[in-house]
Amino acid sequence: MHKHDEAAKKLFGKPYEQLDESAQKVTHHVAARTHIARDTGKDYDEKASRGQRAADAVAAFGGSWAFIGLFGAIMFTWVLLNSFILLHYDKAFDPYPYILLNLVLSMLAAIQAPVILMSQNRQAEKDRLNAKHDYEVNLKAELEIMLLHEKLDVLREGQWNTLLELQKEQLALLIRLTESRKLK
């Protein structure tokens, strides 16, 4: 019987082949006495494509106060500049109601929304991987605790047996001592 099969039967009461992927992985790590914890975020980020990293950067910047401040300043400058030109020269490049500004805002939203959704999808996938990894780590910890309890129970049982043997020897010595005193 293979080491993994023995561990699977002991830990789960099933053969290794009948376990799901996570349980097999945990059984392998328990049987091999290796750690299972790792930085899943780092592993996931290393596999990200250039486009995925760009989507994350756009989402991070687009969801920040810096973006809101910068965008507010650009809009304020746009409106102020067009109003100033309209008042003084009577010919602004984007007069009120700022149709060009609305077009730019619509195009920005049209481009930014799918990029943010891509980033959110990646984050959701990363969260699922983290949850799966957390489950595996917790399962391994639970199994290790069970094994430690078994070892402690074996040690305690061995100590009880040793203690009983010592008590039997002491009783035998006491009986012999009392019998030898009676004879005197």
pTM: 0.65
Mean pLDDT of 83-99: 84
Q: What is the pLDDT of residues 135-183, one digit of tens each?
A: 999 999 999 999 999 999 999 999 999 999 999 999 999 998 888 888 7
pLDDT the model gives residue 163? 92
Closest residue by Cα to residue 21 from 29, 165, 13, 127: 29
Q: What is the pLDDT of residues 68-84, one digit of tens each?
A: 999 999 999 999 988 88
CB atoms within 10 A of CB 97: 7
Max CA pair span of the chain: 135
Is the model's pLDDT at 1 over the cut of 70? no
pLDDT the model gives residue 141? 92
pLDDT band at 184 (very low <50, low <70, confident <90, very high): low
User: Do 139 and 25 meet the contact criterion of CB atoms below 8 Å apart?
Assistant: no
Residues of the chain above pLDDT 90, percent: 45
Is the model's pLDDT at 65 over the cut of 80? yes
Q: What is the pLDDT of residues 18-51, one digit of tens each?
A: 889 988 888 888 888 888 888 888 878 888 899 8
pLDDT the model gives residue 15? 87
Tokens of 117: 């959704």
Is the model's pLDDT at 87 over the cut of 90? no
pLDDT band at 132 (very low <50, low <70, confident <90, very high): very high
Q: How many contiguous H segments (helices) and E segments (strands) does the chain have?
A: 6, 0
Helix (H, G, I), strand (E, B) or coil at 48: coil
